[in-house]
């Protein structure tokens, strides 16, 4: 639960690395105003500005969007996670099992599910839930929560998420970015994007 102070030198290096890697993995253009589906699900978004969707998806139900590279601003959508499935793909089911979404998972337990997934998948130690409240998402009563953690690059990061349970499936949008500068710079873009999310065939 400990959050360390920022490291400007590390952030500068990360920025350079992200810019250099940007063309290689930001390879699916998402044009302003054009509605697209998320991860082959019935979840849809209409970006208010141009975004990039990474071709390498973190899991069957998830896909990642970014403006400057996922290390600087990472928006991940989870489109209808089924009961019994993890949020992201397990690298090794025996040695590194991930927590699963189940039919008994409650809305108030979604932040804990994300925390457990981050700890196992991202190999992080410190994770702190900084806020949580009921909030509508996809037209239904959901949960909004904020958090902080230190990723494997040792940079303090902040996150914000909206989640909802519809038809025994989990729908969620998360935004993660370095706490220093990048989170505040892109937060409004994430919120504007998440506000456009909808689902069909409820």
CA dihedral 63, 66, 19, 28 (to 10 degrees): 60
Q: What pLDDT is recorded for position 193? A: 98
User: HSE-up of 13 (CA within 13 Å, CB side)?
Assistant: 7
> What pLDDT sits at residue 30?
93
Q: Any idea what DSSP says for residue 150?
A: E
Which residue's entry shows tokens 């899991």?
59
pLDDT the model gives residue 202: 63
Q: Output the pTM of the full model.
A: 0.86
CA 195/CA 162 separation, integer angstroms: 10
Alpha helices in the chain (DSSP H): 8-25, 110-121, 182-195
In the chain (202 residues long), the average pLDDT of successive 10-residue segments reads 40 45 60 95 97 93 95 96 96 90 96 96 91 97 97 91 97 97 96 96 70
Stated length of the chain: 202
């Amino acid at each position: 639960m400990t959050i360390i102070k920022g490291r400007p030198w590390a952030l500068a290096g990360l920025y350079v690395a992200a810019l250099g890697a940007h063309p290689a993995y930001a390879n699916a253009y998402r044009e302003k105003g054009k509605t697209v589906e998320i991860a082959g699900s019935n979840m849809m978004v209409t970006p208010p500005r141009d975004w990039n969707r990474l071709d390498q998806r973190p899991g069957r139900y998830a896909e990642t969007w970014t403006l400057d590279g996922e290390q600087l601003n990472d928006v991940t959508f989870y489109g209808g996670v089924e009961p019994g499935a993890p949020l992201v793909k397990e690298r090794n089911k025996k040695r590194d099992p991930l927590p699963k979404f189940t039919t008994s998972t409650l809305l108030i337990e979604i932040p804990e599910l994300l925390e457990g997934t981050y700890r196992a998948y991202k190999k992080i130690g410190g994770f702190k839930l900084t806020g949580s409240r009921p909030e509508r998402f996809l037209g239904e009563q959901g949960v909004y929560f904020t958090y902080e953690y230190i990723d494997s690059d040792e940079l303090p990061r902040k996150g914000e998420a909206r989640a909802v349970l519809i038809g025994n499936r989990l729908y969620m949008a998360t935004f993660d970015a370095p706490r220093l500068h990048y989170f505040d710079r892109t937060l409004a873009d994430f919120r504007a994007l998440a506000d456009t999310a909808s689902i069909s065939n409820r």
